[in-house]
Amino acid sequence: METIYEVVDDMYYITTDVSKLDVNVIHQFLSEESYWAEEIPKSIVEKAIENSLCFGLFYKDAQIGFARLVTDKATFAYLADVFVLKEYRGKGLSKWLMHTIQTHPELQNLRRWLLTTKDAHGLYEQFGWKIPDADYAYRFMMRNKPGLYKKNEET
């Protein structure tokens, strides 16, 4: 059974309780507003949530942000799908979300954390993330399928 982790600050809170997540909000943002998961099917979002350590960001009872980790909680974590809805940006909530993720008690002994981002380097650098230097970058390999979820316009 998964231990639920919650952090509360006034009207905002962050929780790992997946039963509180609003999959419709998460799916809508990822499929319609993100550059990395355009048109992702809701069933894929649900499967990703089911198999990840998720962090929901809420204002009162409304979900306003999200992040998930693909992790073994022992050595490795991949951070993905991080967002705060536009109307709640500029309040320090993404920083609070990152701090909460990185201070989660079950993640303190991870050897390696990874993420990919096109436009949020400044946020992550504040939390110790950096672009691998040339001597280290060659170690990374990836298999990428950009546009996988976009509907094929030829059919």
Q: What is the pLDDT of residue 154?
A: 43
Q: Is residue 101 part of a domain?
A: yes
Q: What pLDDT, on a 0 to 100 scale, did the predictor assign at position 147?
A: 81
- Quick check: 67 and 82 in contact, CB under 8 A? yes
Instruction: Name the domain count of the chain.
Output: 1
Residue 59 lies in a domain: yes
Examine residue 151 and state whether it is found in any structural domain, yes or no: no
Assign 9 to helix, strand or coil: strand
Query: 């693909």: which residue's tokens?
Result: 70
Closest of 28, 74, 68 to residue 49, by C-alpha = 68
Residue 1 falls within a domain, yes or no?
no
Per-residue pLDDT of the chain (155 residues; tens, 9 = 90+): 578 999 988 899 999 999 999 999 999 999 999 999 999 999 999 999 999 999 999 999 999 999 999 999 999 999 999 999 999 999 999 999 999 999 999 999 999 999 999 999 999 999 999 998 888 888 888 888 888 888 754 43
Residue 127: CATH number of its domain = 3.40.630.30
Rounded distance, CA 80 to CA 63, Å? 17
- Provide the residue range defining the domain that includes 106: 6-137
Contact criterion met (CB below 8 Å) for 26 and 63: yes
